[in-house]
Amino acid sequence: MEISEIIPHIEALIFASDKALSANDVTELINNAFGFLEERIELDQVESALNGIQEKYATEFYPFELKQSGGGWQFLTKPDFHKTIAQLNGDKFLKRLSNAALESLAIIAYKQPITKGEVEAIRGVNSDYSIQKLLEKELIVISGRNETLPGKPLVYSTSKTFMDYFGINSTDDLPKIKEVLADQIVEATVIKPEDFTDNSVYEQVSEEAAEAREEEETPNAPEETGDYEAESNQEDATPESPVE
């Protein structure tokens, strides 16, 4: 089967699926659908078809596009139509996570797998409610237990729903901590005398700087105050007592 013949089937599968489909998923589904064919579809053919579909819907003619998100391929509406789609679900669509939930989620995303106690140690507050809400929203999952800690506490990791929610394909797509911190660094503004538009200010600062340099270069001379002589560095000679 030619790539042009499987493209409509791939589009139909991704459009009808309620979850992201990987290239392996699509390959298996199409081969199952056309099992009577002597020649089976190969993974590289499906990947080429997916790239072609992505390029097709990237044009301005379509309000949606094919993107890798949530661990696979999905049809997603383009950002330009966000406000329009928000009218369908009202406030529920626009609802955001609380700051506490976002803090817990960020820690889990970067430190996973991680226990609740470790999350609380980083945040400095109890995180029972935040973690419970994240579990309810299926943004995190219980991925096992920490066998090395007393009591073998549960450990948490992000889910496929998390990747879908934030529009990433894997946790490797998360911004690096160094990149985030670099964006927050603000360099100090260095003000130089020549930056002043008022020339009188510049000249005054320049004169003061020149005088300061002259004072540094001039050696200190002993000060004379009235009839007092400069202090001598020699020790005072004490007359010896007469010996009888």
CATH number, position 150 = 1.10.10.10
**Rounded Cα distance, 85 and 165, in Å:** 16
Same domain, 122 and 148: yes
Distance CA 134, CA 49 (A): 36
188 versus 41: which is more confidently predicted? 41
Question: Of the residues 81, 113, 139, which one is the last residue of a structural domain?
Answer: 81
Give the tokens for residue 227.
Answer: 């009839």
Q: Do 177 and 140 fall within a single domain?
A: yes
- Examine the domain organization and report whether 76 and 135 are in the same domain: no
Handedness of CA 109, 17, 23, 85 (dihedral sign): negative
Calculated CA dihedral for residues 154, 110, 138, 50, nearest 10 degrees: -130
pLDDT at 228 over 50: no
Is residue 62 in some structural domain?
Answer: yes
Does some domain include residue 233?
Answer: no
Take residue 204 and report the two structure tokens written for it: 């005054």
Do 34 and 103 belong together in one domain? no
Domain housing 66: 3-81
Report in angstroms the alpha-carbon separations of 65 from 73, 77, 115, 119, 145. Answer: 10, 6, 37, 37, 39
135-167 pLDDT, tens digit each:
998 899 999 999 998 889 999 999 888 887 777
Q: Does 45 share its domain with 107?
A: no
The total number of structural domains in the chain stands at 2
d(CA 90, CA 88): 6
The answer to the question of residue 206 being in a domain is no
Residue 52 has pLDDT above 90, yes or no: yes
pLDDT tens per residue, range 167-210: 777 777 787 766 555 554 545 555 555 554 555 555 665 666 66
Instruction: Look at residues 54, 81, 108 and tell me which one is the last residue of a structural domain.
Output: 81
Of 51, 81, 111, the residue that ends a domain is 81
Residue 158 exposed, middle or buried by CB count within 10 Å (0-12, 13-18, 19+): buried
Say if CB 116 and CB 133 are below 8 A apart: no
